[in-house]
Chains A and B, each alone.
Chain A
Amino acid sequence: MQKLAKVFSIVLLIFCSFFYIASADLSYQIPATIGGSGNDVFCTTPPYASENFGSYNVGTTGPGSQDLVHNTTSGTGICNGSFEAPGNITGNGTFYLTLYLDGSWSDPYGFIEFVCINGGDNDGDCSVGELVPDVGVFPETPDGTVASPVEFSGTYTNDGNYNRLVIFLCEVDNCTPSTTYPFFLDIGFTEATEEPYSIIEPLALGVYQSFGILLNTTNFSQSDASEWVEFTIEEDRCETLDIGCYFQRVITFLFYPSDGSLNVFKNLYQQIQTKPPFGYIFAILDEFENFDASDDSLYEIPTAEFLQEFIFDDVRIAFVWLLWFVFAVGLLKRFKLIEL
């Protein structure tokens, strides 16, 4: 009887573990911010954003959603550039904003202003309050540079249906964009009941899009550097009693390496790159990448122009081809004789 109980316990444990793993959300987590109303759903993609410093990165989702609207003229006439939340914002809520900045913002300090604009006739009022930090000037660090990323949050009240929350970016002194504004914008609106910065929602199904827009240096107009990145969020939970799916999840859980376990090697490689003795090799190779034989000459070899044009230029091109050919042959021989 005792033996039977032991076997039963083990089987039960295995069974429970199996179903726990199968039902766990093992998919790649893309931080998604879901809020606002209707189609106002934003999905941020930090990896994309971090590789595209100098643009802002906002995602929209679902058919019928609207992109972040960029205006070259403001509603108030104070600032030249503004960004407008897509769609209608209904009800009260909390918004948050993360700005990633580089040193270009250090002087003059940037100014950011959140304004809720009344959408038109027969609409209720709207206002912005409780902005954190309470002033729109980017905070500076003790060494005088601007801290980055800068996180803002605030609340808005809204009684209308077509009011719009607009974010203005400008300089402190004259509120007129006159310098480059290198940043990307990561903006989302949350429901009034949610706390800012705690809006990582379970992934919703659908196709998300993200795009980056480089800002023009003078009027915030959109350049052609936009790039669309589409990715689909697949179903991440098994159907009930879908044994095949359960096994797939279990095998994935057991054998699929995590991002973290792979990234440690990347970090290790980066560490080695900066430390002796390997660091010197990387440093010299880096320097050689800056080697430019077509740079300004320290001296000149007198050559007749016609000789240069009709003989040496052609000979040089032949040399280049010859060198690459010899390299290719050498490479082939090297791999034929390689001892691994």
Chain B
Amino acid sequence: MITSAILYLLYATIQVIISPILLFSDVVLPEGIANAIGTAGMYVAPINIFIPVDTLVTILLLYLQIEGFVGLYKLIMWGIKKIPTIS
């Protein structure tokens, strides 16, 4: 009950903070960008025979995800430190 209440309180706080964002309509990626990424594979395909571009892309995405998690962790810790008596 106590943990749930804290979680609901946290949820409500976050919800209030991001409520302006939620008013926006859903994101639809412009067709041009989607096509560009799709077509890029066809351009890169011949090079992929010599240089493993697909591996490079996978590694890049992994790196971005890790950096994203690190950033999120920092953000959460920054928020926690704002609570009084927690340094």
CB proximity of B33 to chain A, nearest CB, Å? 7
Are B24 and A275 touching (Cβ within 8 A)? yes
Instruction: Report chain B residues within 8 Å CB of A257.
Output: 3-4, 7
Say yes or no: is A284 at the interface (Cβ < 8 Å to chain B): yes
Tell me, in angstroms, the Cα distance from A254 to B46 when the chains sit together.
61
From A255, A288, A293, residue with most partner B Cβ within 10 Å: A293
Say yes or no: is B86 at the interface (Cβ < 8 Å to chain A): no
Instruction: Report chain A residues within 8 Å CB of B34.
Output: 287
B 1-25 binary contact with A (CB < 8 Å = 1; else 0): 1111001100100110010011010
Say yes or no: is B83 at the interface (Cβ < 8 Å to chain A): no
A 237-280 binary contact with B (CB < 8 Å = 1; else 0): 00000000000000001111110111011001001101111111
Instruction: Report chain A residues within 8 Å CB of B49.
Output: 301, 303, 308, 312, 316
CB proximity of A249 to chain B, nearest CB, Å? 12
Q: A284-B33, A323-B56 are in contact. Are A292 and B51 (CB under 8 A)?
A: no
Tell me, in angstroms, the Cα distance from A254 to B70 when the chains sit together.
32
B interface majority secondary structure: helix
Give the residue of B8, B57, B59, B64 whose beta carbon is less than 8 angstroms from that of A291. Answer: B57
Interface size of B by Cβ–Cβ distance < 8 Å?
50
Instruction: Report chain B residues within 8 Å CB of A308.
Output: 49
Interface residues of A (CB under 8 A from B): 253-258, 260-262, 264-265, 268, 271-272, 274-280, 282-285, 287-301, 303, 308, 312, 315-316, 319-320, 323-324, 327, 330-331, 334, 338, 340
Interface residues of B (CB under 8 A from A): 1-4, 7-8, 11, 14-15, 18, 21-22, 24, 26-29, 33-34, 37-57, 59, 61-64, 66, 70, 73-74, 77
- List 30 A-B residue pairs with CB atoms under 8 Å apart, sorted by A's residue number: A254-B2, A261-B8, A261-B11, A264-B11, A268-B14, A268-B18, A271-B22, A272-B18, A274-B27, A280-B27, A284-B29, A287-B34, A287-B38, A290-B38, A291-B38, A291-B54, A293-B45, A294-B45, A294-B54, A298-B45, A301-B49, A303-B49, A308-B49, A316-B51, A320-B52, A323-B52, A324-B59, A331-B66, A334-B66, A340-B77
